[in-house]
């Protein structure tokens, strides 16, 4: 079991803390996810737990701080850093590298060979590390973390930037590890991935704990449909929507996400107040700017037919707020007719999980769609 108690990381010169008084538990037999955008403090929490950064608070692994564990590699496995790069020498073969790490950990070489099989890297064991794709490098890092047969795994964004098939395999592997009595603590950016992977979700924002929820509570409160709105006057529209009882979340200077008001209601409200919009689209919550793309339906732009209404001259011309490349400008003017067609995901596609029931359901070598380059070695 992992416990974080009051983890805090402060900066000098008046900067806001990277992490402030974070407390939560990661229990045995469960996958716990730290969810948040970049800069929310997820990675900082893992580094504080492993003693890699200085800070305040306590992190306990089965009641002991990491530095007081006599053989930490036998109890805690960690995968941190860039998923597309590996810390081993690029000219070393995967099997030789893993056997070298196994000797440092104090386990027999056959343990390295077993983990190459378990991580589906055995056919590529003779290839050099420089030929490995990001997915293969990340699975080799996972094999390193498991050499000492630890009971706890800490992983920083284990699937970020990987292919869907590699992501599916990682989810299945981590859930199988937890089902065997292990403790898994991982960080992710995408709420939908958190719902697919986790038994418990700890949400961070700006270094602060926002929510600590079981999966069912998280899905019910966070994975609701929302409306994405973009335009030069979204600040004014956000005030109007808040007054009407909708929940509004800022997404940069020209975008908001709205929960509690339909696309039609938002469009009519903008029309009545002469507000210019660039985008008005349905989407799944958490799939907007700042998060990784996950399963779901991409938002479609709204198409508005031009109108010859005389009232159009009362508003600034579209050139006053030029659209970005790929955007559709939506000008709502008094007397103009608005028509739009936006595909809405069905219940089946919105809730379908990519997580298999077990490792056996993910068949075949995962690197088959990204083979390592041929490697000529001198004898």
pTM comes to 0.64
- pLDDT of 352 reads 34
Does the structure show a pLDDT above 90 at 223? Answer: no
- pLDDT of 311 reads 36
State pLDDT tens for residues 293-345.
333 333 333 333 333 333 333 334 333 444 444 444 444 444 444 444 333 33
How confident is the model over 270-295, as a mean pLDDT?
69
Does the structure show a pLDDT above 90 at 362? Answer: no
CA 25 – CA 184 distance, rounded (Å): 11
- Provide CB contacts within 8 A for 101, sequence distance 6+: 112, 144, 147
Residue of higher predicted confidence among 345 and 111: 111
Does the structure show a pLDDT above 70 at 170? Answer: yes
State pLDDT tens for residues 9-42.
998 777 889 999 999 999 999 999 999 988 899 9
Q: Most confidently modeled of 48-57, 251-260, 333-342, 343-352?
A: 48-57
- Residue 325 burial class via C-beta count within 10 angstroms: exposed 0-12, middle 13-18, buried 19 and up: exposed
Q: Which of 35-39, 221-225, 290-294 has the lowest mean pLDDT?
A: 290-294
Does the structure show a pLDDT above 80 at 164? Answer: yes
- pLDDT of 322 reads 43
| Helix (H/G/I), strand (E/B), else coil: 206 | coil
* Mean of the per-residue pLDDT values of the chain: 78
Give the percent of the chain with pLDDT over 70: 73
How confident is the model over 349-375, as a mean pLDDT?
40
Full set of structural domains in the chain with CATH:
2-222 (3.40.50.300), 225-351 (no CATH)
Does the structure show a pLDDT above 60 at 375? Answer: no
- Residue 183 burial class via C-beta count within 10 angstroms: exposed 0-12, middle 13-18, buried 19 and up: buried
- pLDDT of 84 reads 58
How confident is the model over 121-130, as a mean pLDDT?
92
How confident is the model over 203-211, as a mean pLDDT?
92
- pLDDT of 83 reads 57
Can you tell me which residue has the tokens 């950990």? Answer: 105
Tokens of 247: 């929940």
What Cα–Cα distance (Å) separates residue 124 from each residue in 85, 120, 222, 322? 17, 9, 40, 51
Q: How many CB atoms lie within 10 A of CB 220?
A: 11
State pLDDT tens for residues 262-275.
889 999 999 999 99
Residue of higher predicted confidence among 367 and 170: 170
- pLDDT of 122 reads 93
Backbone φ/ψ region at 268: left (φ over 0), alpha (ψ -120 to 50), beta = alpha
φ and ψ of 139, to 5 deg:
-70, -30
Can you tell me which residue has the tokens 């800022």? Answer: 250
3-state helix, strand, coil in the chain (%, to 5): 35, 20, 45
CA-based nearest residue to 119, from 130, 111, 108: 111
> ∠ CA 84-184-165 to the nearest 5 degrees?
45
**182 close to 149: Cβ distance less than 8 angstroms:** no
How confident is the model over 125-130, as a mean pLDDT?
91
How confident is the model over 345-354, as a mean pLDDT?
36
CA 184 – CA 155 distance, rounded (Å): 8
């Amino acid at each position: 079991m992992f416990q974080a108690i009051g983890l805090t990381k402060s900066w000098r010169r008046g900067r806001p803390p990277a992490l402030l008084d974070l407390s939560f538990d990661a229990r045995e037999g469960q996958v716990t996810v730290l969810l948040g955008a970049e800069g929310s403090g997820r990675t900082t929490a893992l580094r504080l737990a492993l003693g890699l950064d200085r800070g305040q608070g306590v992190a306990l692994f089965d009641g002991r701080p990491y530095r007081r564990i006599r053989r930490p590699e036998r109890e805690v496995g960690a995968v941190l850093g860039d998923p597309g790069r590996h810390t081993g020498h690029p000219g070393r073969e995967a099997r030789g590298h893993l056997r070298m790490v196994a000797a440092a950990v104090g386990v027999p070489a056959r343990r390295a060979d077993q983990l190459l099989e378990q991580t589906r890297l055995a056919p590529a064991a003779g290839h050099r590390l420089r030929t490995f794709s990001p997915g293969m490098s990340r699975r080799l890092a996972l094999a390193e973390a498991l050499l000492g047969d630890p009971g706890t795994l800490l992983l920083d964004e284990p699937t970020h930037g990987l292919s869907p098939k590699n992501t599916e395999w990682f989810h299945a592997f981590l859930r199988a590890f937890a089902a065997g009595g292990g403790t898994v603590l991982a960080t992710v950016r995408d709420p939908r991935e958190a719902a697919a992977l986790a038994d418990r979700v700890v949400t961070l924002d700006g270094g602060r704990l926002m929510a600590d929820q079981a999966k069912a509570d998280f899905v019910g409160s966070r994975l609701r449909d929302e409306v994405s709105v973009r335009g030069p006057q979204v600040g004014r529209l956000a005030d109007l929507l808040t007054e009407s009882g909708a929940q509004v979340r800022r997404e940069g200077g020209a975008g908001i996400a709205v929960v509690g008001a339909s696309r039609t209601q938002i469009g009519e409200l903008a029309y009545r107040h002469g507000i210019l919009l660039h985008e008005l689209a349905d989407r799944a919550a958490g799939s907007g700017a700042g998060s990784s793309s996950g399963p779901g339906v991409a938002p479609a732009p709204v198409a508005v037919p031009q109108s010859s209404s005389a009232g159009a001259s009362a508003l600034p011309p579209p050139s006053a707020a030029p659209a970005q490349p790929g955007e559709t400008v939506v000008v709502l003017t008094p007397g103009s007719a608005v028509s739009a067609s936006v595909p809405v995901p069905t219940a089946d596609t919105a809730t379908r999980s990519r997580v298999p029931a077990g490792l056996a359901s993910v068949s075949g070598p995962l690197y088959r769609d990204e083979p390592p380059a041929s490697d000529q070695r001198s004898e």
